[in-house]
Amino acid sequence: MAASTRSLSPMESLPRELMWAIIEYATETVFDLRLASSLLKSHVDDYAVQRRIVGLVEKMDMISEVTWMEIKLFVRTCRASLLELRYKLLDHHEELIPEDCENARLSRTFFHRPNYVIAVYREPAKWLQNLPEWIGGKAKIVRIEQIHQTQFPFETHVIALLDQIRTKKLKFTNYVDDDFIHHLLTTHRLAQLEVLSIALRTMTDPKKFLLYLSEHVPAVQIYQILDRAISDTVPYFLGMRDFDWAPTFLEMCSKKLDKLSIVNLGLTDFLPIESSEQLRKRLPYTGKGIWFEASCTNYEQDKKYVENNHQLSVDSRDIFGNFVSVKHTSRIDEKFDNDVDITR
């Protein structure tokens, strides 16, 4: 036994935990390490298929078309080899996307970074059921976009995946079914969620919905989707006309939420000067460092000053109109952006 041990290289002699730490530090080398020796190959493979592997997918997009759906996985360059190895090693990888499958396709593309695209043409549930395990059950950002009404239950597949994939940032864009968003967010577990961005047209009870979100999510962004049927001369937000939203926004910021962005570009009169002034006077005194920004009625001139360690301003942004903002001085440079730099 001693002779056998002496024949091992220094790296091969390392304990498994230390070997795994090295693999974690240099995941881009997993395929090279597997070629070094059978023992190192065993270490790498054991590491690659562990259930609690983290940081494989930075961002996952779920996009629906009329007759098919697409899953895009955005991966850091240094993690791409590990994701590919995990795909090959999992027992069910051939069931995920068989090579001769005409109903689904997995491809890898490069545009500054490795991306993996799963296009599903029939029976999405069959091809997506093993996806959560492949990517380690986590994605830092999940973006859901329904471009068209589909011929299959897209919402069902979204719920099924989100039940198995934990994420800190969730974003809905161009969504056509506001009732589904309401159902998903009021029934889905939000405990792990840190950032939520939603594009909405209307809500049955928008005030109740927003207050619910503010109890569970620290950062919320709401985009008002414009509807041609809505007159731009009527103050409007989430289905309500001539409603004073300032008290609701103040109540939201008194709960778990401390970062709120409201984008209502075509209907800025929903937040008149009186409401903007009420927010600017009271938000700096909530007892926490607030980051608040909302579309608002045009002011005659821009205003900017500091009160109780919060910068208060009304800024004109060309075609985007005016925004009233109240931001703690430590958070002035923060942006409300759900994307991350994954070029490395």
Report the pLDDT value the prediction gives residue 197, as an integer from 0 to 100: 92
Nearest to 70 by CA among 120, 128, 122: 120
Instruction: Kindly state whether residue 32 falls inside one of the protein's structural domains.
Output: yes
Q: Which of 16-30, 91-105, 152-166, 315-329 has the highest mean pLDDT?
A: 16-30
Residue 341 lies in a domain: no
Measured at the CA of 185, the angle between CA 179 and CA 190, to 5 degrees, comes to 180
* Gap between the Cα atoms of 174 and 318, Å rounded: 23
* Amino acid identity, position 142: V
User: Averaged over 202-209, what is the pLDDT?
Assistant: 87
Between these two residues, 38 and 128, which has the higher pLDDT value?
Answer: 38
**pLDDT tens digit string along 76-89?**
888 888 888 888 88
- What is the rounded average pLDDT of the residues 157-163? 83
Q: Is residue 7 part of a domain?
A: yes
Q: DSSP character for 97?
A: S
Q: Indicate the number of domains in the chain.
A: 1
Q: Percent of the chain scored above 90 by pLDDT?
A: 24
- Tens digits of per-residue pLDDT, 105-156? 667 665 556 688 877 766 666 667 788 888 888 899 999 887 666 666 777 7
Q: What pLDDT was estimated at residue 151?
A: 66
Residue 25 lies in domain: 2-48
- The Cα 136–Cα 228 span in angstroms is 43
Please state, in angstroms and as integers, the Cα–Cα distance from residue 315 to each residue in 223, 230, 250, 307, following that order. 18, 25, 20, 17
* Secondary structure of residue 168 in the 3-state scheme: coil
> How do 69-74 and 114-120 pair as beta strands?
antiparallel
Q: How far is CA 335 from CA 81, 94, 213, 242, 327, in A?
A: 32, 42, 20, 29, 11
In a domain, 330, yes or no: no
Let me know if residue 112 belongs to a domain.
no
**DSSP three-state, residue 259:** strand
The answer to the question of residue 29 being in a domain is yes
Answer with the residue of higher pLDDT: 320 or 226: 226
Give residue-wise pLDDT tens across range 260-303. Answer: 999 988 776 788 889 989 999 999 999 999 999 998 887 766 67
Would you give the end-to-end CA distance of the chain in angstroms? 43
Q: What tokens were used for 187?
A: 């029934």
**Which of 308, 197, 187 has the alpha carbon at shortest distance from 263?**
197
Q: Is residue 257 a part of any domain in this protein?
A: no
Beta strand pairing call for 114-120 and 104-110: antiparallel
Is residue 110 included in any domain, yes or no?
no
Bridge pairing between strands 236-237 and 219-224: unpaired
Q: What integer pLDDT is reported at residue 259 of this predicted model?
A: 96
Calculate the CA dihedral of residues 292, 298, 299, 305 and round it to 10 degrees. Answer: 20
Residue with tokens 């047209």: 201
d(CA 236, CA 253): 21
